[in-house]
A and B are shown apart, each in its own frame.
Chain A
Amino acid sequence: MSSFQPTSPSNRVRIVVATSVMLTFISYWRAAAIVLNDLASSAFYACGIAEQAVGKSAPWFIVAVMLFSFAVRAVYVESCSMFVRGGVYRVVKEALGGTLAKLSVSALMFDYILTGPISGVSAGQYIVGLINETFIAADVHGWVPRAVHNLFNGTPHLNVNSTSVVFALAVTIYYWWENTKGIQESSEKALRVMQITTVMVVILLAWSALTLYKSGYQHVPLPTPENLHFSKESLGFLRHSFPEQSLAKMFGLLGILIAFGHSVLAMSGEESLAQVNRELAHPKLKNLKRAAIVIAIYSFVFTGLSALLSVMLIPDAVRVPVYKDNLISGLAMYMWGPLIMRLIFRGFVVVVGFLILSGAVNTAIIGSNGVLNRVSEDGVLADWFRFPHRKYGTSHRIINMIVLLQLITIVASRGDVYVLGEAYAFGVIWSFTFNSLSMLVLRFRYKGVRGWKVPPNLTIAGIEIPIGLFSVFLVLLATALVNLATKSVATVAGVSFSVVFFVIFTVSERVNRKKHALAKEQMKDHFQLLQSDTVDRDSLGIRPGNILVPVRDYNTLNHLRWVLEHSDTKEQDVVVMTARISQFGAAAYSLSSEQIFSDYEQTLFTRAVSVAESVGKKVSLLVVPARDAWSAIAQTAHNLESSAVAAGLSSKMTTAEQAFALGRAWEAIPEPKRQFVLQIVQPDGIVDTFRIGPHTPTMKNEDVVLLHRLWLNVTREPGLENVHHHDILTEALTRFAHDYGVHDHEDIVKELRRHSAEAGPLPVRRIADQIPTVQPGHTRSDRDDGQRDDGPSSPKGSGSE
Chain B
Amino acid sequence: MGLKIITVLVRVLEGMFVVGAIGSFVVIVLSGIEDLKMLLGREEENHS
Asked whether A140 is an interface residue with its Cβ less than 8 Å from the other chain, the reply is no
Is the pair B47, A478 in contact by a Cβ cutoff of 8 Å?
A: no
Closest Cβ of chain A to B18, distance in Å, is 7
Contact mask A254-281 → B, CB, 8 Å, 1/0? 1011001000000000000000000000
| Residues in A neighbouring B47, C-beta threshold 8 A | 81, 449-453
Closest Cβ of chain B to A378, distance in Å, is 27
| Residues in A neighbouring B26, C-beta threshold 8 A | 455-456, 467-468, 471
Can you name the residue of chain B whose Cβ is closest to the Cβ of A293? B35
* A290 touches which of B18, B22, B38, B46 (Cβ 8 Å): B38
Q: A453-B47, A456-B30 are in contact. Are A468 and B23 (CB under 8 A)?
A: yes
Is the pair A71, B24 in contact by a Cβ cutoff of 8 Å?
A: yes
How many A residues have CB within 8 A of the partner chain?
39
Asked whether A74 is an interface residue with its Cβ less than 8 Å from the other chain, the reply is yes
Q: A450-B48, A470-B23 are in contact. Are A475 and B17 (CB under 8 A)?
A: yes
| Residues in B neighbouring A479, C-beta threshold 8 A | 17
Which of B1-48 touch A at CB < 8 Å?
10, 13-14, 16-24, 26-28, 30-32, 34-35, 38-39, 43, 46-48
Contact mask A286-321 → B, CB, 8 Å, 1/0? 100110010000000000000000000000000000
Which of A398-454 touch B at CB < 8 Å?
449-454
* Bound-state Cα–Cα, A476 to B24, Å: 10
* Bound-state Cα–Cα, A254 to B11, Å: 8
Greatest chain B CB density within 10 A among A70, A286, A467 is at: A70
Contact mask A460-479 → B, CB, 8 Å, 1/0? 00000001101111111111
* Bound-state Cα–Cα, A478 to B17, Å: 6
Is the pair B27, A453 in contact by a Cβ cutoff of 8 Å?
A: no
Can you name the residue of chain B whose Cβ is closest to the Cβ of A285? B47
* Bound-state Cα–Cα, A450 to B43, Å: 17
Can you name the residue of chain A whose Cβ is closest to the Cβ of B11? A251
| Residues in A neighbouring B16, C-beta threshold 8 A | 474-475, 477-478
* Bound-state Cα–Cα, A260 to B17, Å: 10
| Residues in B neighbouring A489, C-beta threshold 8 A | none
Closest Cβ of chain B to A318, distance in Å, is 34
Asked whether A253 is an interface residue with its Cβ less than 8 Å from the other chain, the reply is yes
| Residues in B neighbouring A71, C-beta threshold 8 A | 24, 27-28, 31
| Residues in A neighbouring B46, C-beta threshold 8 A | 452-453, 455
Asked whether A482 is an interface residue with its Cβ less than 8 Å from the other chain, the reply is yes
Asked whether A67 is an interface residue with its Cβ less than 8 Å from the other chain, the reply is yes
* Bound-state Cα–Cα, A451 to B20, Å: 24
Closest Cβ of chain A to B22, distance in Å, is 7
Closest Cβ of chain A to B47, distance in Å, is 5
* A472 touches which of B20, B32, B38 (Cβ 8 Å): B20
Is the pair A474, B17 in contact by a Cβ cutoff of 8 Å?
A: yes
Is the pair A471, B48 in contact by a Cβ cutoff of 8 Å?
A: no
* Bound-state Cα–Cα, A71 to B20, Å: 11
Closest Cβ of chain A to B8, distance in Å, is 12
Q: A286-B38, A449-B48, A453-B48 are in contact. Are A257 and B24 (CB under 8 A)?
A: no
Can you name the residue of chain A whose Cβ is closest to the Cβ of B20? A474
Is the pair A468, B30 in contact by a Cβ cutoff of 8 Å?
A: yes
Can you name the residue of chain A whose Cβ is closest to the Cβ of B30? A455
Closest Cβ of chain B to A368, distance in Å, is 29
Asked whether A481 is an interface residue with its Cβ less than 8 Å from the other chain, the reply is yes
Asked whether A600 is an interface residue with its Cβ less than 8 Å from the other chain, the reply is no
Is the pair B27, A74 in contact by a Cβ cutoff of 8 Å?
A: yes
Closest Cβ of chain A to B39, distance in Å, is 7
| Residues in B neighbouring A478, C-beta threshold 8 A | 13-14, 16-17, 20
Is the pair B19, A474 in contact by a Cβ cutoff of 8 Å?
A: yes
Asked whether A237 is an interface residue with its Cβ less than 8 Å from the other chain, the reply is no
Asked whether A68 is an interface residue with its Cβ less than 8 Å from the other chain, the reply is yes
* Bound-state Cα–Cα, A453 to B17, Å: 22
Closest Cβ of chain A to B41, distance in Å, is 10
Can you name the residue of chain A whose Cβ is closest to the Cβ of B24? A71
Closest Cβ of chain A to B30, distance in Å, is 4
Is the pair A475, B38 in contact by a Cβ cutoff of 8 Å?
A: no
* Bound-state Cα–Cα, A449 to B45, Å: 13
Closest Cβ of chain B to A4, distance in Å, is 46
Q: A289-B35, A449-B48, A450-B48 are in contact. Are A70 and B13 (CB under 8 A)?
A: no
Is the pair B31, A454 in contact by a Cβ cutoff of 8 Å?
A: yes
| Residues in A neighbouring B19, C-beta threshold 8 A | 471, 474
Closest Cβ of chain A to B26, distance in Å, is 6
* Bound-state Cα–Cα, A476 to B23, Å: 12
Greatest chain A CB density within 10 A among B10, B31, B38, B39 is at: B31
* Bound-state Cα–Cα, A453 to B44, Å: 13
Which 6 pairs, one residue from A and one from B, show the smallest C-beta to C-beta distance? A471-B23, A474-B20, A475-B20, A455-B30, A468-B27, A71-B24
Chain A residues at the B interface, C-beta cutoff of 8 Å: 67-68, 70-71, 74, 81, 251-254, 256-257, 260, 286, 289-290, 293, 449-456, 467-468, 470-479, 481-482
A selection of 22 A-B contacts at a CB cut-off of 8 Å is A67-B28, A68-B21, A68-B24, A70-B28, A70-B32, A71-B28, A257-B13, A257-B14, A290-B39, A293-B35, A293-B39, A453-B47, A455-B46, A456-B26, A468-B23, A468-B24, A471-B26, A474-B16, A474-B23, A475-B17, A475-B24, A481-B13
Not counting A468-B24, A468-B30, a sample of 8 additional A-B residue pairs whose C-beta atoms are within 8 angstroms of each other reads: A256-B17, A286-B43, A289-B34, A293-B39, A453-B47, A475-B21, A478-B20, A481-B13
